[in-house]
Amino acid sequence: MESQDLRTLQGEKVKSYEELQIANWLYENGVGYEYEPIYEHKVSEVGRRDYQPDFRLTESGIYIEHFGVRREKARDGSERLVTAPFVDHDEYLAGMDWKRKVHAEHQTTLIETYSYERQEGRLLTGLAEKLAPHVTLKPRPVDTIYDRIVELKQVDDFSKLLGTFLRKFKSGGYSLQDCETKSDQMKLGKRGRAFLDVFAPVFEEYQKRLAGRIDFEDMILRAAQYAEDGRYVSPFRHILVDEFQDISQSRARLVKALKAQHPDARVFAVGDDWQSIFRFAGSDIHLMRNFGREFGGLFDGETGVHRTVDLGRTFRSVDQIASAARTFVLRNPAQIDKKIVPAGTATEPAIKVISVSRGEDEGKLYEVLASQSAAVPPEAKPASVLLLGRYRFNEPDMQGLRRSFPRLKINFKTIHASKGLEADHVILLNADSGRTGFPSEIVDDPLLSLVSPEEEAFQNAEERRVMYVAMTRARHTLVILASNARPSAFVTELRKDPAYGIVTASGAELEEHVCGECGGRLLGVTGQDGRIWHRCEHIQHCGNLLPACQSCGTELPRQADGTSEVRCGCGACYPTCPACKDGWLVERSGTYGKFLGCVRYPTCTGKAKVTKARPADRATRRRRRSE
C-alpha cells in the first residue's frame, strides 16, 4: 500500500482507495477538508495517541469517518459486518462504537461511510446525500481539476504515455519506421507493435488538428531542414550555444546544419553536464559528453578536434556546500570531472539534515525559518530563502510563511524550475523515499526508449544531478528536511559518509530496532506528552507502538538472547510479555489488585502475576541510590 503512494487531488497521502475516492470527491465539489486532523476535544480514553478522525470539513466542522466494513449474510438470513482478514474484527467494531460515543458526548456531527457502500456502487452518491443538509457544493471546473491532475502527475498512465511519446517523437525527428526498427532490436515484441499501431492514428490526428499551423518542435525541425537543403543560407561563422547540457537531438541537428555551411564556422558551447536534468523533455547528455565527436572540426587528418575550457569558479556557494555538491555528483563516474573554486569560506556548518516525524512538516519548517529570521540584523535587508520541492505539491502555505517571517524573502520553486536561481538560504522539503519521493521512483515505460536518448547506466543518474542543482542554489546554508521513517536514499548517503560534512540535528536520530509485528523499523519519536516512544515506520498499516524504558526514559528495552528478560541499555530489566514479541510487563492496577500487564496494552493483553522482587524494581532502586 505504501508503494502505491495514494495521493489525493489536494496532495496528501491516504491509507486506502476508498479514502482516496472520498477525498477527491470533496475536492472536486469544492468542499474544504483536513485529512486526519486531531479531534477538537481532548479525549483521554484513547490512550497514547490523540484521536484523529478521517476527515474534518473546514467550513462546517462536520467529521467524516470511513469504516472498512462489509456486509455478509449468514445462512439464517441475518446480516453481520465483516472486516478484512488481517484486521481484528471485534476490536475494530468496538472502535467504531467508541468513536460514535465520543462524537455524541461532545456533540460534534459525525457522518459515517462504509466499505460496503463502495461494494454496492453508492459510496459517493450516499456521501452526497448525507452531506446535503450540512454543506453547499461548489463544483470545480473540469479544466481546473485536470490541471491539478497534471500538476500532481496523476493523469492515467496510458494517456500520459501517449502524450510524452508524441512530444519526444517530434522533438527527436523520429519516423514510425525508426521506432519499429528500434522496437525489434530491443525485443519489445507484441506490446511494442501494438503501441505503435495505436500511436500512429493518434499522431495523424494530432497533425491534422494543427490545421496548417506548426508547433514548437516543427519550428526546430523545419529550420534544420531548411539549413540542410540550402533553402536557408547562414551568414554565421561563430555559433554560440548556451545551456548546452540541455540540447536535444533536433537542436543539435540544427547547429550541425549551420556549421556545415561554412568550413571556417566555429561552435562555442557553454554548459554544465552536472546540471543536465531535462531528459524527460528530450535533452541528451551524451551530446555534451561526446562534444568532439559530434561537433569537432577537421585538422591535419584528425577528426573531432576541439578544446575545453574549465569554468570552475562558482560565484554562489560557500566551500562546504560547493565541496559536498561536487563530491555528491561525481559519485557517477560518467560525469565530467572539474575542480571547483568556492565563493567563500563557511564559518559555521553550512549543510544540515533535520529529521521530520509524521505530522511535523509544518512545525519543523517554521522552526528553521524562525532561526534564520532571528539571525537577520534589524538594520539589514531581508535574507532570501528558497524553498525547494521535487514536485509542485510540496509547496507549503506561502502566504502564511511570508506573514510570519517579514525579515525573510521567501519563495518556493520546484528544483527543475530553480535552475539559474540562488538564495542566501535553501530549504529542501520532503526529501523522502517512495514513488513520488526524491529520488523519484516513477519508472519510465520501456516504450519511451524508442524515442529517448540512450539511458545512463548509473543508478538515479539524472536524479543525482537534480539533487546537485538543489544543493547549489544556496549561497550560505542548505537545510534538508527528511522523513524520520522513510528518508531519501540521497539523505542516507549524505548522513553516512563523513566526506560530505553534514550536520544532523541533535536528538533527531535514535537507535532503530526491528518491529516484531511486521519486520519494519521501530523509530524513536517524541510524543505530544514529551516522552520518547518507539513506533513502526509503517505507521499507516502497523500499529506497533512501544514506550521508552521507564527507568531511563529514552532507550527501548529488547529481549536478551537465551533469557526470559527484556533488557534496556541503561541496565533495567523487565519480564517478557508472554503474548507478543516486542512487549514487556510492567505493574498495573486492576479490579483485583496489582498485576503485570504488557506495555502495548490495549493492543496486547498479555499479563502475569506480580512477583515480590522484580528485576526492573531492583534496577530502579539501584539507580535511585546511585543518584
pLDDT in tens, 345-369: 887 888 999 988 777 889 899 999 9
Distance (Å, rounded) from C-alpha 396 to C-alpha 492? 24
**pLDDT per residue as tens digits for the range 139-185:** 999 889 988 888 877 777 788 789 889 988 988 788 999 899 999 98
Instruction: Give me the chain's average pLDDT, please.
Output: 87
Q: Are 21 and 29 in contact (CB under 8 A)?
A: no
Over residues 565-570, mean pLDDT = 86
How is residue 470 written as a grid cell?
538543489
The pLDDT, as a whole number, for residue 568 is: 87
* Predicted TM-score (pTM) of this structure: 0.60
**Residue 625 CA: distances (Å) to CA of 139, 151, 570, 618, 620:** 68, 62, 15, 11, 9
How is residue 425 written as a grid cell?
538560504
pLDDT at 577 over 60: yes
Q: Are 289 and 334 in contact (CB under 8 A)?
A: yes
The pLDDT, as a whole number, for residue 506 is: 45
Residues linked to residue 397 through DSSP beta bridges, in sequence order: none
Dihedral sign for Cα 599, 605, 611, 612, please. Answer: positive
| Other beta carbons less than 10 A from residue 397's beta carbon | 11
Distance (Å, rounded) from C-alpha 79 to C-alpha 88? 19
What is the per-residue DSSP string for 395-431?
---HHHHHHH-TTEEEEEEETGGGTT--EEEEEE---
Q: Are 555 and 533 in contact (CB under 8 A)?
A: no
- In SS3 terms, 316-341 reads as CCEHHHHHHHHHHHCCCCCCCCCCCE
Q: Are 186 and 192 in contact (CB under 8 A)?
A: yes
Over residues 432-446, mean pLDDT = 81
Over residues 41-66, mean pLDDT = 84
Q: Are 445 and 403 in contact (CB under 8 A)?
A: no
Over residues 519-540, mean pLDDT = 77
Over residues 57-75, mean pLDDT = 92
pLDDT at 8 over 80: yes
Dihedral sign for Cα 225, 228, 229, 231, please. Answer: positive
The pLDDT, as a whole number, for residue 507 is: 43
> Residues in the chain, how many?
627
pLDDT at 468 over 90: yes
**pLDDT per residue as tens digits for the range 186-228:** 888 899 999 999 999 999 999 999 988 998 889 999 999 999 9
Over residues 358-384, mean pLDDT = 90
**pLDDT per residue as tens digits for the range 253-286:** 999 999 999 999 999 999 998 998 887 777 888 8
What are the counts of helices (DSSP H) followed by strands (DSSP E) for the chain? 18, 26
How is residue 374 written as a grid cell?
532571528
pLDDT at 508 over 50: no
Q: Are 390 and 430 in contact (CB under 8 A)?
A: yes
Distance (Å, rounded) from C-alpha 320 to C-alpha 340? 11
Query: What confidence tier does 378 reach under pLDDT thresholds 50, 70, 90?
Result: confident
How is residue 460 written as a grid cell?
538515479
pLDDT at 607 over 80: yes
Does residue 249 sit in helix, strand or coil?
helix
How is residue 193 written as a grid cell?
507493435
Q: Are 72 and 80 in contact (CB under 8 A)?
A: yes
| Other beta carbons less than 10 A from residue 87's beta carbon | 12
